[in-house]
Structure 1
Amino acid sequence: MAVRQHHYQVTVTWTGNRGEGTSSYTAYDRSSDLQATGRDPIALSADPAFRGDASRWNPEQLLLASASACHKLWYLHVCADAGIIIDEYQDNAEGTMVEGVRGHFTRMTLRPQIRLRHPEDQPRAADLHHKAHDACFIANSLNFPVDIEPVFLHDKLSVV
């Protein structure tokens, strides 16, 4: 079976030149816009700890969101294939990064809260997180642990 390749393209445009360019570390904003064909732009910046704008998404959040969304998509897929009906899914994901010359993430923890149509499916639904994690393209591309800590709820999820 041939392996299919998928290609992705985005454009990140720096918008933080205050007129002095990068004449000093404090002379410029970390702002940029993320664009892809046919989509609304996303306002980006650095984490506020690195002189970024807290009102904009930062790369660390986007990496965490990518891992969370990929796991969710695979989890819904494997549950559908297994005949398990998910009615609600909300992940409160968290990542840990260390600073330094070679700053890097050390771990991510996904904490999906899930409401099943049939609560008796919970043992099988819990096991399927392993299958979803193994299939997740993003998790397979990371070089640090991604832990999955699902919680199964029997009432409506409250949106954070």
Structure 2
Amino acid sequence: MHYVANLAWERGDQNFESGTFSRRHRIAFDGGQTFVASSSPQVLPTPMSDEFGIDPEEAFVASLASCHMLWFFVIASKRKYCVDRYVDNACGVMRRNDDNRIAVTDVLLRPKVTFSGPRLPTEDEHRAMHHRAHELCFIANSVKTAIECQPELELAPTADAPD
């Protein structure tokens, strides 16, 4: 398996040598999606950064959260649970690592999962599925970043539940 991302940036009439040029660029994926990307305004101020562009740090956190979610879906469906909704407000922290290099050292996943149907997981089963999703996540297995998961279980109301 291999994966491709095509990046494109052009200087235009900006003064490259001064270092004050825009880092805004485009990333295209093989499925046809194209996104505006940029350095983070937290790393490099505007106008050199585009606050509306996806920065590498955000993309990194999103890829970890997305991979975790997709594996969670595999596990939940194999166990015959019905997931109605999955929301994760994931957060990454960038600081100096043990080698004194700036890195995204920690990512906190906070998935809130809503289940419905006749078969509902317990809190322990829910946590175990997240633990297994983390073990299987290709992206998590590819990085040194500490990844913590704080799942929240939500059960959808049933039709026969009292009002």
Structure 1 position 37, deviation (Å)? 3.1
Runs of 4+ in 1 over 3 A off after TM superposition: none
- Mapped partners of 2:26, 2:6: distance in 1: 8
Residue in structure 2 matching 1:8, options 3, 7, 25: 3
**Equivalent residue number for residue 3 of structure 1:** none
Structure 1 position 21, deviation (Å)? 4.4
Structure 1 position 120, deviation (Å)? 4.3
Amino acid at match of 2:115: L
**Equivalent residue number for residue 144 of structure 1:** 145
Residue in structure 1 matching 2:59, options 51, 57, 62: 62
Deviations 1:122-144 (A, max 9, x none): 33122111111000000001102
Change (3 A) 1:120 1:41: closer
Is the strand fraction higher in 1 or 2? 2
**Equivalent residue number for residue 87 of structure 2:** 90
**Equivalent residue number for residue 103 of structure 1:** 102
Write the mapping of 1:1-160 to structure 2, written as runs, cut at 5 A.
Answer: 6-15=1-10, 17-26=11-20, 28-49=21-42, 50-51=44-45, 52-98=49-95, 102-118=101-117, 120-122=120-122, 123-154=124-155
**Equivalent residue number for residue 161 of structure 2:** none
Residues 61 and 91, structure 2, Cα contact 8 Å, conserved in 1: yes
Cα root mean square deviation, aligned: 2.0
Change (3 A) 1:99 1:12: farther
**Equivalent residue number for residue 160 of structure 2:** none
Is the helix fraction higher in 1 or 2? 1
Normalised by the length of structure 1, the TM-score is 0.85
- Mapped partners of 2:145, 2:4: distance in 1: 25
Q: In terms of mean alpha carbon deviation, does 108-117 or 45-54 score higher?
A: 45-54
Q: In terms of mean alpha carbon deviation, does 138-147 or 98-107 score higher?
A: 98-107
Change (3 A) 1:88 1:20: closer
